[in-house]
Chain A
Amino acid sequence: MAQSWTAGASPASAAPAGETPTVQEILRILANVPDPEIPAVSVLDLGIVREVTADRVVITPTYTGCPATLAIEQSIRQALGAHGFAHVAIETVLSPPWSTDWISEAGREKLRAYGIAPPPKGTAAASLENETLAECPRCGSSNTEEISRFGSTPCKALWRCKACQEPFDRFKCH
């Protein structure tokens, strides 16, 4: 069995397979640690967790100035401690930089159900000039427009659906 889990090794939200029981247990704990600002998704869903070994969890921040970064580390620390893994070290790395392409399929569905349009996939490097229209998470229409490029958190933009008239958040492609 593998001694470590690396992001992308298996679908983040599915039952982890192939790793040692300890790594599997840590992954199960992390799958239940919610993002502090968007509690509908876990830190695993968001792709923040990059690597897990029996004594180490490697995470990466979403935005350099995201105030949730510290809160996320504390939540992980607390969850691990509560399950007897207080000795596991948490490391933060910057490179490679986090991308919305790392949000899992399950994470995308959870965002949509929560009322946040998930970011389009595979376009993280695309020019800001050629952004696709967001799909309204409520009625599914693509007849939408951006109200503000910056929303309630660094990772979201404010949009409006012209079909059902509802405003909604869109997870920015990043």
Chain B
Amino acid sequence: MEKLAQYALRLGDDALILGQRLSEWCGHAPALEVDLSLANIALDQVGQATHFLNLAGAIEAKGRDGDALAFHRDVMDFTNCLLVEQPNGDFAQTMARQFLYAHYQHLLFEAMRSVQDERFAAIAAKAVKETAYHAKLASDWVIRLGDGTEESRARMIAGLDWMWRFADELFVMDEIDEAAIKVGAGIDKPALRPAWDARIDAALAEAGLERPASRRPVLGGRTGRHSEHLGHLLSQMQFLQRAYPGATW
């Protein structure tokens, strides 16, 4: 796959895997309102994934559309970051993942709105408004749980501890990102980091929480080296197309 298609694929994979993870909460969330929130955010992510994966397929020009890319690739071919494939755990762990990811995604799309390549800019301009809601909801819950009971606070701390080591990967650049920048579609991701840090720190301060201790960052998702969790997620998401290849309705 050429580099620009690979770049679109990564954006699509992030959204797709996070959308699938969040949809696992459907019918299981602690309250009806939360159930609706998570299902709505999952829908937004799957919608964004559809646009980016269709774009990746169009750039690749080998006849694969978004569905083919979502359902007919195996785990090593997925290029999502490790953060989004992490298991939901309890509600606080899910919110920790959402908190770290949504603020990154919002900053990313804010910047991508004004890239030269109109295909990427159009999806970002559409998605950035949705992502603003996701980031706000995640911050609200981090504050509410962190500043809540002893139990909720302990769970929020544990959730952030689990997810924290996967945050650095969001801001890593490689030759795919560099190539995308050269053709007017890429984003200087390290430049987003100070704003991300400021948003995360502000919410943590309001929640009365501290940043988890720095750890060795875990990387590899962008090149297909995933945690053991992704394969299980795919086996569920791709079940129908694995059992009945090419099935339509």
The answer to whether B47 and A97 touch across the interface, beta carbons within 8 angstroms, is no
The answer to whether the Cβ of B118 comes within 8 Å of any Cβ in the partner chain is: yes
Q: Which residues of A have CB within 8 Å of B28?
A: none
The answer to whether the Cβ of A151 comes within 8 Å of any Cβ in the partner chain is: yes
The answer to whether A128 and B36 touch across the interface, beta carbons within 8 angstroms, is no
The answer to whether B37 and A95 touch across the interface, beta carbons within 8 angstroms, is no
Contact of B33 among A128, A150, A174 (CB under 8 A): A150
Q: Which residues of B have CB within 8 Å of A124?
A: 129
Give Cα distance in the complex from A160 to B229, angstroms. Answer: 40
The answer to whether A65 and B36 touch across the interface, beta carbons within 8 angstroms, is no
Taken residue by residue from 36 to 50, chain B's Cβ proximity to chain A (1 for < 8 Å, 0 otherwise) reads as 110011111111101
Majority secondary structure of chain B interface residues (helix, strand, loop or mixed):
helix
Give Cα distance in the complex from A63 to B127, angstroms. Answer: 8
Give Cα distance in the complex from A66 to B45, angstroms. Answer: 10
The answer to whether A150 and B132 touch across the interface, beta carbons within 8 angstroms, is no
The answer to whether B132 and A65 touch across the interface, beta carbons within 8 angstroms, is no
Contact of B44 among A96, A98, A152, A154 (CB under 8 A): A154
Q: Which residues of B have CB within 8 Å of A95?
A: 118, 121-122, 125-126
The answer to whether B46 and A94 touch across the interface, beta carbons within 8 angstroms, is no
The answer to whether B125 and A158 touch across the interface, beta carbons within 8 angstroms, is no
Give Cα distance in the complex from A97 to B126, angstroms. Answer: 5
Give Cα distance in the complex from A63 to B48, angstroms. Answer: 9
The answer to whether the Cβ of B133 comes within 8 Å of any Cβ in the partner chain is: yes
A65, closest chain B residue (CB): B47
Q: Which residues of A have CB within 8 Å of B123?
A: 64, 94
Contact of A94 among B33, B45, B126 (CB under 8 A): B126
Q: Which residues of A have CB within 8 Å of B46?
A: 65
Q: Which residues of B have CB within 8 Å of A147?
A: 33
The answer to whether the Cβ of A87 comes within 8 Å of any Cβ in the partner chain is: no
Contact of A150 among B37, B47, B121 (CB under 8 A): B37
The answer to whether A148 and B127 touch across the interface, beta carbons within 8 angstroms, is no
Number of B positions contacting A (CB below 8 A): 28
Contact of B45 among A61, A65, A98 (CB under 8 A): A65
Give Cα distance in the complex from A128 to B123, angstroms. Answer: 21
Interface residues of A in 133-168 (CB under 8 A from B): 147-152, 154, 158
Provided the pairs A64-B126, A95-B125, A97-B126 are in contact, do residues A149 and B137 lie with their beta carbons within 8 angstroms?
Answer: yes
Give the shortest distance, in Å, between B82 (CB) and chain A (any CB). 23
The answer to whether B51 and A128 touch across the interface, beta carbons within 8 angstroms, is no
A125, closest chain B residue (CB): B129
The answer to whether B40 and A128 touch across the interface, beta carbons within 8 angstroms, is no
Give the shortest distance, in Å, between A95 (CB) and chain B (any CB). 4
Interface residues of B in 89-119 (CB under 8 A from A): 118
The answer to whether B37 and A149 touch across the interface, beta carbons within 8 angstroms, is yes
Q: Which residues of A have CB within 8 Å of B118?
A: 95
Most buried by A among B42, B45, B129: B129
The answer to whether A174 and B129 touch across the interface, beta carbons within 8 angstroms, is yes
Selected A-B contacts with CB under 8 Å, 28 pairs:
A61-B126, A64-B44, A64-B50, A64-B51, A64-B123, A64-B127, A65-B42, A65-B44, A65-B50, A66-B43, A94-B122, A94-B126, A95-B121, A97-B125, A97-B126, A124-B129, A128-B136, A148-B36, A148-B37, A149-B133, A150-B36, A150-B133, A150-B137, A151-B36, A154-B44, A158-B33, A158-B36, A172-B133
Give the top 6 A-B pairs by smallest Cβ distance, nearest first. Answer: A65-B47, A64-B47, A65-B43, A148-B33, A95-B122, A150-B37
